């Protein structure tokens, strides 16, 4: 018997959240982002759900050609697959063309790969423009030239123009409007499609929706904006990280618990030990008091998170016992709350769920 921890993936919630994207951005097509193993949820499961759903995603996006190949080999029916950062090396172009992946071009070198290709394949290209993120993307000043050259490539069938927003999670930040203005000032041909919105902009900025929206985190049921909860946005958690109590013990007033003896009992306390630690992806920096659900009731984390275990104060659960159910985050406890308590974002928490945690599809 392995340790009782597992990540339960709620496929219906993923379908529900995809529908929520459609509700928010009725007129846009959806490029569903499933990079980083679908934000830790399992890339094949996610690709399958997003492809098979009646009104599935219009395309799916990954960060590398390996992820694209994994999906391409696993699924016979799937929407087009987009390489969000394009190809990293020239020798990835042949496979990209063979498998008909669409690809981002964010750098002149990637344009040259296409120009120097002898293949005339109907590739769909996403031209990424830097509007202020200053990470990937060609400069607006170079746009007209590169856009024209791309359209002239034999290997290129069509071009969609995209950019990425830096501050859309903070709805008060004026950066989004400045980036939008820059994006609007690009002189694209009338038939050219455009894409700007990530999850945060999908829920908060209809003026950024354009032809394609690119949801990531909201598909997985976490809130993309600081001022609204997932519940308020009617997004459903797609992962429940579940485990069990593996020990229950009494500690006397004045005794300590865990590494560093950082937590000291103020009174006689019942401590529960949960089979879940940073080796499973639980954040080591979760602060004392971070909520954990034991038998559906909130109890506070005490002491340091260890590799395989955490400890909780069971004083409000006097009858709790070995084998009782624990939820670390999921349907009843938002991963957003755990992220706040660990001083990070849900993206990181979800992506860090370790390989050793078994995934169970629900």
| Residues binding ligand PLP (CB under 6 A) | 33, 35, 84, 164, 198-200, 214-217, 224
Q: What is the Rg, in whole angstroms, of the alpha carbon atoms belonging to the chain? A: 23
Q: Which two tokens stand for residue 280?
A: 């499973």
For the record, the structure tokens of 242 come out as 């579940």
What residues contact 4, with CB distance under 8 A and at least 6 apart? 243, 244, 246, 275
CA distance 146 to 110: 11
Give the chain's count of helices (H) and strands (E). 11, 18
Measured from the CB of residue 208, what is the shortest distance to ligand PLP in angstroms? 12
Which residue number, 84 or 125, has a Cβ lying nearer to ligand PLP?
84
CB of 61 or CB of 188, closer to ligand PLP: 61
In the complex, least distance from residue 169 CB atom to ligand PLP, rounded to whole angstroms: 8
Which one is catalytic: 55, 182, 259, 347?
Answer: 259
Nearer residue to ligand PLP within complex by CB, 24 or 263: 24
Instruction: From 91, 52, 36, 99, select the one nearest 73 (Cα to Cα).
Output: 99
| Nearest-approach distance from CB 164 to ligand PLP, in angstroms | 5
- Residue 128's SS3 state is strand
Nearest by Cα to 213 from 193, 196, 188 = 196
Select 81 or 312, whichever has its Cβ closest to ligand PLP.
81
259 labelled catalytic = yes
Roughly how many angstroms between the first and final C-alpha of the chain, as a whole number?
Answer: 21
| 182 in active site | no
Task: Output the smallest distance, CB 167 to ligand PLP, in A.
Answer: 11
230 within 8 A of 217, measured Cβ to Cβ: no
Largest CA distance in the chain: 77
Q: Compute the least distance from the CB of residue 214 to ligand PLP, in Å.
A: 4
In angstroms, the CA 102 to CA 285 distance is: 39
Euclidean distance between CA atoms 353 and 69, whole angstroms: 22
Q: Which is nearer to ligand PLP, 214 or 304 (CB)?
A: 214
138 DSSP assignment: B
Nearer Cβ to ligand PLP, position 196 or 320? 196
As a whole number of angstroms, the distance between CA 121 and CA 132 comes to 32
From the list 35, 78, 128, 331, the catalytic residue is: 35
Q: Give residue number: closest CB to ligand PLP.
A: 216
Instruction: Supply the minimum distance, in Å, between the C-beta of residue 35 and ligand PLP.
Output: 6
Give the Cα separation of 352 and 162 in Å (integer): 28
What are the catalytic residues?
Answer: 35, 259
């Amino acid at each position: 018997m392995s340790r009782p921890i597992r990540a339960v993936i709620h496929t219906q919630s993923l379908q529900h959240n995809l529908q929520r994207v459609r509700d928010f951005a009725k007129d846009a097509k959806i490029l569903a982002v499933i990079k980083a193993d679908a934000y830790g949820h399992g890339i094949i499961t996610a690709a399958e759900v997003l492809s098979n759903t009646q009104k599935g995603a219009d395309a799916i996006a990954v960060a590398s050609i390996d992820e694209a190949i994994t999906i391409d080999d696993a699924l016979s029916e799937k929407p087009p697959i987009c390489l969000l950062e394009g190809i990293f090396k020239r020798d990835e172009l042949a496979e990209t063309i063979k498998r008909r992946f669409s690809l981002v071009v964010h750098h002149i070198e990637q344009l040259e790969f296409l120009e120097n290709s002898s293949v005339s394949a109907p590739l769909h290209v996403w031209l990424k423009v830097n509007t202020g993120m200053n990470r990937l993307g060609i400069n607006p000043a170079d746009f007209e030239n590169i856009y024209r050259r791309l359209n002239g490539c034999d290997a290129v069938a069509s071009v969609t123009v995209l950019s990425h927003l830096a501050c859309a999670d903070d709805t008060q930040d004026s950066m989004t409007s400045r980036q939008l203005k820059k994006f609007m000032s690009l002189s694209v041909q009338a038939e050219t499609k455009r894409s700007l919105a990530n999850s945060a902009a999908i829920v908060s900025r209809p003026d950024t929706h354009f032809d394609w929206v690119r949801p990531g985190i909201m598909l997985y049921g976490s809130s993309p904006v600081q001022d609204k909860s997932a519940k308020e946005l009617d997004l459903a958690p797609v992962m429940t990280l579940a485990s069990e109590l593996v020990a229950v013990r009494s500690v006397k007033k004045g005794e300590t618990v865990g590494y560093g003896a950082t937590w000291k009992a103020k009174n006689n306390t019942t401590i529960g030990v949960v089979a879940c630690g940073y080796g499973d992806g639980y954040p080591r920096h979760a602060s004392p008091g971070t909520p954990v659900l034991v038998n559906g009731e909130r109890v506070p984390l005490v002491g340091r998170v260890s590799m395989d275990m955490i400890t909780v104060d069971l004083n409000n659960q006097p009858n709790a016992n070995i084998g009782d159910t624990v939820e670390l985050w999921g349907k009843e406890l938002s991963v957003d709350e755990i992220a706040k308590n660990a001083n990070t974002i849900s993206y990181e928490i979800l992506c860090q769920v370790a390989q050793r945690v078994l995934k169970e599809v629900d």
